[in-house]
Amino acid sequence: MSMQIQLNDPKVIKNWALFDWANSAYALVISTAIFPPFFEAMTTDQVSFLGGSISNTALYSFAVSFSYFFMVLVNPILAGIADGGGKRKMFLRFFTLLGGIACISMFFFETSSYVWWATTGFILATIGFQAGTVFYNAYLPEIVTEDKFDQVSAKGFAYGYIGSVILLIFILAMIQFPEFFGMEESSLQARIGFVLVGVWWIGFGLYAMNRLPKDSIRKTLVNPIKKGIGELKIAWSRIRGNKHLLRFLASFFFYISGLNTIVYLATIFAKKVLNIGQSELIVTVLIIQLLGMVGAYLFAYVSKLKGNKLAIGVMITIWMLLCFVGYFVNGTTGFYVLSGFVGLVVGGTQAVSRSAFAKMVEGHKEEMNSYFSILDVVRNLAVVVGTFVFGLVDQLTQNMRFSVLSVAIFFALGLLLLIITNLKEAKI
């Protein structure tokens, strides 16, 4: 275990939250706002691949799928290391540097001939972000007492939203007003933005780690693969004995698959299918960020009044309707309205789902990392399946509207499974 520090230290809590400020720059600028439409604009409609060709949007979808599939494979190892705690900060630092440098490398994505360079950089940045999050989350029970979990977790959430929006607005200013920065309008502004994300991520990330618990100098984690898989097996043996918890995880798999597919591919859909301009896309992302915070607190209140099941069910229904509307939507105004509703449910769905699952396993605090590791495996597999299906439908039909419609199926299955789930009996 890491060296002990004083629990509930305000300075440590602030630094922990500051790491969310650091890595959320990737989540907003690279995975959502700037890179997806930039990737679509800088590549040809068809990209050479293994002697054949693949649509550029399908390639992007499959890049997301591959990144998360890799995380499914290595998650047990990371969970074992996170539980062991001996080298937690070392690995957090490694994945922060990996993700940040990968973002910086995207600066060289100047023409379509660098498409595979950019794709590789995006995959490595995504892996750096997801892997780092495993170690970052594992610090929470080590720096605060249980009664402050929700409060401190929310603080990190808020820091992430605020920090990423600040950086995004600056990058947007460069893109919209290049002459103010002494530049001509070109791809250079967005590519400088990728560098800024990497520098922001590494700079604030390394600074944030200063006050986090230090690694154990003497402890060496023996056979992390065996430890990680062994702990997951113990947790899974308890889960599989509860049919309602299994149903919840199955429901979670389908609706979180739909959610993350939309988050990763909404802007690229807007750019390619709806011909939404860069400035309008950024406005859309800012709308989603703002309403995401509102929605998280709104549905937390609904959960308090009516329970987690009703709150999640309402949000899944809204998601499903949004997919149908998305199939028909045209024009900027319609996309703004659609994005507003996405914002209202995207934060709430994730926050309430995490809270619901925590209540189900709260009686096993020693194995909490293992239970949440299983939730991470389910989530990562869900992203693999969702983005792969989206890309496959796009490749087969050459029409992303059908891909959007296919996502509705995931939400429908999630809702049906939730309906037959008793969340009170899902507690183990």
Where is mean pLDDT largest: 74-78, 215-219, 229-233, 254-258? 254-258
**pLDDT above 90: residue 193:** yes
Among the three residues 168, 192, 218, which one is the final residue of a domain in this structure? 218
What pLDDT was estimated at residue 161? 79
Q: Which of 218, 243, 263 represents a domain boundary (last residue)?
A: 218
Q: Which domain holds residue 36?
A: 1-218
- 118-150 pLDDT, tens digit per residue, is 999 999 999 999 888 878 877 877 787 767 766
Residue with the bigger pLDDT between 309 and 296: it is 309
**Upper half-sphere CA count for residue 248 (Cβ side, 13 Å):** 29
Q: Is the pLDDT of residue 329 over 60?
A: yes
Q: Are residues 303 and 357 in the same domain?
A: yes
Confidence band of 85 (pLDDT split at 50, 70, 90): low
So what's the pLDDT on residue 2?
47
CA distance 330 to 333: 8
123 and 261, same domain (yes or no)? no
| The pLDDT of residue 415 is above 90 | yes
pTM of the model: 0.80
Query: Mean pLDDT over all residues of the chain?
Result: 86
pLDDT band at 37 (very low <50, low <70, confident <90, very high): confident
pLDDT tens per residue, range 6-15: 888 999 999 9
Number of domain units in the chain: 2
Question: Pick from 194, 218, 242: which residue ends a domain?
Answer: 218
Alpha-carbon torsion (171, 159, 121, 392), positive or negative: negative
Q: In the chain, what is the straight-line distance between the N-terminal and C-terminal CA atoms, in Å? A: 26
Asked whether the predicted pLDDT for residue 368 surpasses 70, the reply is no
User: Do residue 185 and residue 283 come from a single domain?
Assistant: no
DSSP string, 208-235: HHTTSPPPPSS-----HHHHHHHHHHHH
Cα Dmax for the chain: 64
Residues 347 and 200 in one domain: no
- How sure is the predictor about 115, in pLDDT bands with cuts at 50, 70 and 90? very high
Same domain, 195 and 234: no
Quick one: which of 104, 144, 126 has its CA closest to 16? Answer: 144
Residue (of 381, 417, 378) closest to 251 by Cα position = 417
Q: Which amino acid is at 223?
A: N
The verdict on 196 and 263 lying in the same domain is no
pLDDT at position 1, please? Answer: 44
Same domain, 203 and 300: no
For range 354-371, the mean pLDDT: 73
Q: What is the mean pLDDT of residues 60-76?
A: 88
Shared domain check, 54 and 31: yes
Same domain, 86 and 198: yes
Tell me the range of 48-62, 66-80, 93-107, 232-246 where mean pLDDT is highest. Answer: 93-107
172-198: average pLDDT: 93
Same-domain check for residues 235 and 127: no
Same domain, 297 and 210: no
Give the pLDDT score at 167: 95
Residues 200 and 296 in one domain: no
- Residue 98: give its domain's CATH number: 1.20.1250.20
Does the pLDDT at position 422 exceed 60?
A: yes
